[in-house]
Amino acid sequence: MKRWVLVVGVLSAFGAPGALAWQPAPGHVQVPIWPGAAPGAGTATKPESDTMDKKSLIGGKTVLAIHDVSRPTMTVYAPKGKHSGAAVVVLPGGGYEILAIDLEGTEVCEWLASKGVTAVLLKYRVPGHPGPHRTSPMALADGQRTLGLLRHRAADLHLDPHKLGVLGFSAGGHLAAALSTQYERRSYRPVDAADKQSCRPDFAVVVYPGHLAVDQTDEPAARRKLSKFRLQEEGAEFGLNPDIHVTRQTSPTFLLQDQDDPVDRIENSLLYYAALKKAGVPVEMHLYAKGGHAFGIRPTKLPVTRWPNLLETWLGTIGMISG
């Protein structure tokens, strides 16, 4: 209890979030990641709201979606039991249109905390319309800001600043890849000392990602040649998103996707894996035949939903947690 009181006290120094549509469970506090107005704010045309999908059950449970997020916050889930010193920023998916805040957020944070990892749920800005971060640069800025902020407060939060990663689902998976490859300079004007810290993730977990593969079938041949990694399937030609510049310094990555994913094609993972492998970046990929899209960590009869066990092993393999 003393440790959690300390965490809440540290986060309270960031400022009060005010009235927001979604609130975490008792014992957790969401706090703003920006000291004032977020850069580029004001794109959401409606107040933040939430909806519960009671028809499309996943793992026998409903899914809570947050809409029109314009005030980004983070919520820290303190580790339970042995503290590894590692922390993971969790990035829910939703096509940059909504955030699946429980399925790909709070439930994942609770699991990470049970493994001795500090989980940080980032409620990043979504403009209310779909699109990769080039049409929603606020999400990238929010992710960069959070990574720098956690490193700046690492001592207060008892974090190892060299064990800070990201875990993203669907559009959040794309955001995790963007953060892994776009960290040399901030996408916004620095606002305080936290922005002087590195915003490079030490590792990344990318789960059923979207926006990494671009259909280049109708693009001019000259542009198609810009992509070093291409796949042809069913008459279409896919190339790696040109916004994702993989280098040797890109974060070590864990990839997971189903081949029958009806929302984001398997090419998203295949092309990113190829680029990481070519650059010499440590990468582990797991592909499953069945499981579809957006299952989070909820267990079902399908083998893919046991993937958290694989992730736990990988985190131990790369030295983020002990076995």
Q: Where are the extended beta strands (E) located within the chain?
A: 30-32, 49-58, 61-67, 73-77, 87-91, 98-100, 118-123, 164-169, 203-207, 213-215, 230-233, 236-240, 253-258, 283-288
pLDDT over 90 (residue 77): yes
pLDDT over 80 (residue 246): yes
The pLDDT value recorded for residue 131 is 53
- CA dist 26 and 29 (Å) reads 8
Q: What is the pLDDT of residues 25-40, one digit of tens each?
A: 999 999 999 999 899 8
Q: What is the DSSP letter of 193?
A: G
Output the CA–CA distances (angstroms, integers) from residue 242 to 168, 229, 232, 275, 291, in the order listed. Answer: 20, 10, 17, 12, 28
User: pLDDT: is 228 or 28 the higher one?
Assistant: 28
> Domain map of the chain by residue range?
2-317
- The hierarchical CATH code for the domain 2-317 is 3.40.50.1820
- CA dist 36 and 191 (Å) reads 9
Give me 262's structure tokens: 């009806």
pLDDT over 60 (residue 69): yes
Over residues 123-142, the mean pLDDT reads 78
* One-character DSSP codes across 98-122: EEETIIIIIHHHHHHHHTT-EEEEE
Give me 321's structure tokens: 């947690």
Give me 287's structure tokens: 């592909």
End-to-end CA distance of the chain, in Å? Answer: 25
Task: Share the mean pLDDT of the chain.
Answer: 88
The four Cα atoms 213, 181, 32, 150 give a dihedral, to 10 degrees, of 140
pLDDT over 50 (residue 206): yes
The pLDDT value recorded for residue 318 is 97
- Judging by beta carbons within 10 Å of its beta carbon (0-12, 13-18, 19+), is residue 191 exposed, middle or buried? middle
Give me 10's structure tokens: 């540290």
- Judging by beta carbons within 10 Å of its beta carbon (0-12, 13-18, 19+), is residue 316 exposed, middle or buried? middle
149-181 b/e with 16+ CB inside 10 Å = b? bbbbbbeebbbebebbbbbbbbbbbbbbbbbbb
The answer to whether 180 and 218 are in contact (CB under 8 A) is: no
Q: Sorting pLDDT into bands at 50, 70 and 90, what band is 218?
A: low
Q: What is the pLDDT of residues 263-321, one digit of tens each?
A: 999 999 999 999 999 999 999 999 999 999 999 999 999 999 999 999 999 999 999 99
Answer whether 0.75 is exceeded by the pTM.
yes
